[in-house]
Every structure is written in structure tokens, then in C-alpha cells.
Amino acid sequence: MPRDMSTPHDFHVAFLGFSEFERSALASYFRLAGNRVPHYGQVAALADADFLVADSDHAPSVQLAIATGRIEQTVFVGSHAPSGARAWLNRPIDAMHVMRELDAMVQMSTDFAVPTLSAPLAPFVSPPMAPAAPPRDPAPPLASDDDADIDADIDATVPGILSIRPEPVASHWPAPLPPPPPPKKRKVRAPLAADAPIPVALLVDDSTLALRFLETRLRPWGLRVDCAADSRHALELLEQRSYGFAFLDVELGEDSELDGLALCRHIKQSPAAVGVTVFMVSAHHSELDRVRGSLAGCDGYLSKPLDEGELARLLLRHGLREPAEPPH
């Protein structure tokens, strides 16, 4: 069980699930908000956490929150709200809204009065999306009957959490909970088949030289490429065809109505652009810049000058086959 909340404004939070990039962005935001009241510090062990932030699309994380009796102390982020959840936010992850949900839990769990005007890093982050209302219909089942049983060693199935094991169900419950349903297998994009359609990548940068350089690095991976020098042309191309990937420079110059972060939010919120994997590409790649990219909904962040090893890791992670000949 979590520690006693002896310090009235310092609380511990553990993350369940999420991609490595999402966890890193959340952790960075929490560190950058170190002077905030109340303050939330990340911990690795579930037993040390006062509250949890869990990926509701990752079945083992949801089951762990249920099995340990922590569902009412958890902020869920994902495509649906688990049954019994007290707090739920839709993607893309908005760290400011996550903290506000934690504030509400603090007020309900303690006598600590949360300041009403606390807004960490407000001058530095993009405007957050309003959280979607939880669905009225019951949440979809977490797993199908065909999936394998969840392993007892849950800490091995939940990325980013160290030495986590289910704790006994609270003794005040009238009867033991039934075992959790088997986990839903996460969808992993398989490598492209030989006869699969060639994916298309949209490159957006106000530098012609940068566009040509990135294009030469992507073509050996089997990608077709469209280029745009400003946000208006990029939006026109997005209306005309479907893209598997988008590489967006953050600063798009005076000729663009939108910068790269705003363009990323547009893509992620557009029903016509569902499934587009968005990478930000920028000469500004500090911890804060990466947090801003995550808040905009991007799936990865590449620095300028381009690190070709980092580019290769991202493309392999998203299902592309490594080229027979290295790009040059």
C-alpha cells in the first residue's frame, strides 16, 4: 500500500504502461514542475506511490490497478475509461490535465487545499486539449477469451515500473475478486510484406536543403516522399492523400500559418489523418522541447543535425524493414 501522506504537499506517482517516449515526456514535465504546489514526484515501485497514472489501452496496467485496489487512485489515459475509474483523459497526453486530475484526487484523499490557479509551465507549453467526457456505455472488455493468462510476475509486463507485484485485495471487500481476465494482446505493426503498398511520408520543412537530405535518408527504407515548405501546402497534401508518416520541422518560417507543433496537433485531431505516425524534427531538442512535442501528440522527436541511428531506431520500431544498403 502507498506510504502515509505525512508531507502535505509532496506526493508520489508511478506510471503504468505507456511507450518509452510518453513516460519520458511525463517524467520530464513532472521534474520541470518541481516548484509546483502540490508537487508530484515519480517513483518506480507501486508500493511507494500515492497515486498512479496508467495507460488504459494497456490491459496489464488496467488489471494491475484493479487487482491492487488502486483504481480510484489512478488517472487513466487512453481511448476508453475502465469500469470504476474515477479519472480518465483521452489521448494525446496532456501533462497539465493529468496534474489537475491528481489535484482533485489529493483534495478528495487529504485535507490539503489545492491552489485553484496553479498552472505549471503555462508560458512554455502548447494550449492543452480539453479532456473528452467518459463514454456512457460500459467500457469494452479488456481481453478476449483467446488470449493467454496474465503472468503472475506482473512487473515484467508493465514497462517503466520496477519490482511491482500485486498486493492482497483489501480485507473489507465481502468476497475475493475473481481473477482478472486474460490480457488483450497489444497490436504491434508487423514488417511490411513484399507486396504491401509502399507507404508515403510527408516531409514539412522551410529549408529545401533539409528536405532533400531527409528524403535521401528515407527512400532506402522503401518510403515514397511528398515535400511541403509551409503549413498551407502540407494541409493541402493531407487532404489529397493518406500518409503513413509525417516528419515536421518545428519552426516553419514566416510563410506558414502554423508551426510544426500546431500542425502536429491538427494531424492527430483530424479524422481524415487517423493512423499517421508523426515525428518532430528540430534543432531545438532540449528536455522542454521534447515535452512540448509530446503534448502536441507526436510519436517521436528527432534532432538536427539528423542522428541517422536514432532515425533508424524509430523506423524499425514502426514496422519498416532495414534497407539492404545503408543510406548515403
Q: What is the 3-state secondary structure (H, E, C) of the chain?
A: CCCCCCCCCEEEEEEECCCHHHHHHHHHHHHHCCCCCCEEEECCCHHHCCEEEEECCCHHHHHHHHHCCCHHHEEEECCCCCCCCCEEECCCCCHHHHHHHHHHHHHHHCCCCCCCCCCCCCCCCCCCCCCCCCCCCCCCCCCCCCCCCCCCCHHHCCCCCCCCCCCCCCCCCCCCCCCCCCCCCCCCCCCCCCCCCCCEEEEECCCHHHHHHHHHHHHHHCCEEEEECCHHHHHHHHHHCCCCEEEEECCCCCCCCCCHHHHHHHHHHCHHHCCCEEEEEECCCCHHHHHHHHHHCCCEEEECCCCHHHHHHHHHHCCCCCCCCCCC
Residue predicted with more confidence, 61 or 136 = 61
Mean pLDDT (the chain, rounded)? 75
Strand order across the 200-204 sheet = 224-228, 200-204, 245-249, 277-282, 300-303
- What pLDDT does residue 257 have? 93
Q: Which amino acid is at 321?
A: R
Lowest mean pLDDT among 29-43, 118-132, 239-253, 269-283: 118-132
- Please check whether the two domains, 10-156 and 200-317, share a CATH topology: yes
Residue predicted with more confidence, 217 or 275 = 217
Instruction: Considering only the C-alpha atoms of the chain, give the largest distance between any 2 of them, rounded to a whole number of Å.
Output: 68
Q: What is the mean pLDDT of residues 34-51?
A: 85
- What pLDDT does residue 161 have? 41
Residue predicted with more confidence, 34 or 266 = 266
Per-residue pLDDT for 3 more than 60? no
Cell readout for 194 is 513484399
Closest to 242 (Cα-Cα) out of 199, 284, 211, 203: 199
Residue carrying C-alpha cell 507501486: 46
Cα separation, 226 vs 223, whole angstroms: 10
Predicted TM-score (pTM) of this structure: 0.47
Cell readout for 238 is 493531407
Per-residue pLDDT tens over the stretch 224-245: 999 999 999 999 999 998 999 9
Domain topology for 10-156: Rossmann fold (3.40.50)
Angle at alpha carbon of residue 80, lines to 78 and 84, rounded to 5°? 110
Backbone dihedral angles phi then psi of residue 278, each to the nearest 5 degrees = -110, 125
- What pLDDT does residue 119 have? 39
Torsion-angle region of 5 (φ positive above 0: left; ψ -120 to 50: alpha; else: beta):
beta
Lowest mean pLDDT among 3-17, 64-78, 103-117, 223-237: 103-117
Asked if residues 84 and 65 have their Cβ atoms less than 8 Å apart, the reply is no
Q: What is the mean pLDDT of residues 87-93?
A: 86
Per-residue pLDDT tens over the stretch 182-191: 655 544 444 4
Per-residue pLDDT tens over the stretch 251-268: 998 889 999 999 999 999
Asked if residues 204 and 249 have their Cβ atoms less than 8 Å apart, the reply is yes
Backbone dihedral angles phi then psi of residue 66, each to the nearest 5 degrees = -70, -50
- Domain 200-317 part of CATH 3.40.50.2300: yes
Strand order across the 51-55 sheet = 39-42, 10-16, 51-55, 74-77, 87-89
Residue carrying C-alpha cell 539528423: 306
Lowest mean pLDDT among 60-64, 160-164, 210-214: 160-164
Residue predicted with more confidence, 194 or 210 = 210
Per-residue pLDDT for 19 more than 80? yes
Per-residue pLDDT tens over the stretch 115-167: 543 434 433 333 444 444 444 444 444 444 444 443 434 444 444 443 334 44
Instruction: Please enumerate in sequence order all residues whose Cβ is within 8 A of that of 22, keeping only pairs 6 or more positions apart, or say none.
Output: 55, 93, 294
> Domain limits of the chain?
10-156, 200-317
Residue predicted with more confidence, 176 or 219 = 219
Per-residue pLDDT for 310 more than 80? yes
Q: What is the mean pLDDT of residues 99-115?
A: 73
- What pLDDT does residue 284 have? 84
Cell readout for 255 is 510563410
